[in-house]
Structure 1
Amino acid sequence: MRTYLSLLWTLVRVRIESLKEQPEAGYTTEAVVGIALLVLIAIATFAVIAAKVANKAESIDLGL
């Protein structure tokens, strides 16, 4: 068990050191999350506008 914990601790330290050497390594994940949120906002906005346009089109009386 002690060997396993020692190996795990060594792997964590190596990973932390590699992240310190590359501070921009996590930027892509942040960018992807930000872009995904912007896409969701755009889809929701489109859905609201489409619903309002459809309601307005249905309320127009053509007098036929």
Structure 2
Amino acid sequence: MHPHLLALWTTLKARWELLRQQPEAGYSTETVLVTALLVAAALVTIAIIIAKVTTKANGIEL
């Protein structure tokens, strides 16, 4: 196995073991990730709405 992959694997195993010993430790990370995904989804939704409204407004003939 490549030395960098071995180091990565060892680090991941060690962190996984720490999380298994303290199950509540990963809760805040999960909350931050879910919140970030919800914010990203909201921004995409707002961008789509703005694009549609702008297109509709530009289509109005005065």
Normalising TM by the smaller chain, what interval?
Answer: 0.5 to 0.7
Q: Aligned residues, how many?
A: 53
Q: Comparing both chains, which one has the higher relative contact order based on Cα–Cα distances under 8 Å and sequence gaps of 6 or more?
A: 2
- The structure with the largest alpha-carbon Rg is 1
The TM-score, its normalising length taken from structure 1, stands at 0.63
The TM-score, its normalising length taken from structure 2, stands at 0.65
Q: Structure 2: where are the runs of 5+ without partners?
A: none
Equivalence for 2:20: 16
* C-alpha spacing 1:10/1:52, structure 2 compared with 1 (3 Å): closer
State how far apart, in whole Å, the 2-side matches of 1:17 and 1:31 are.
25
Percent identical residues: 9
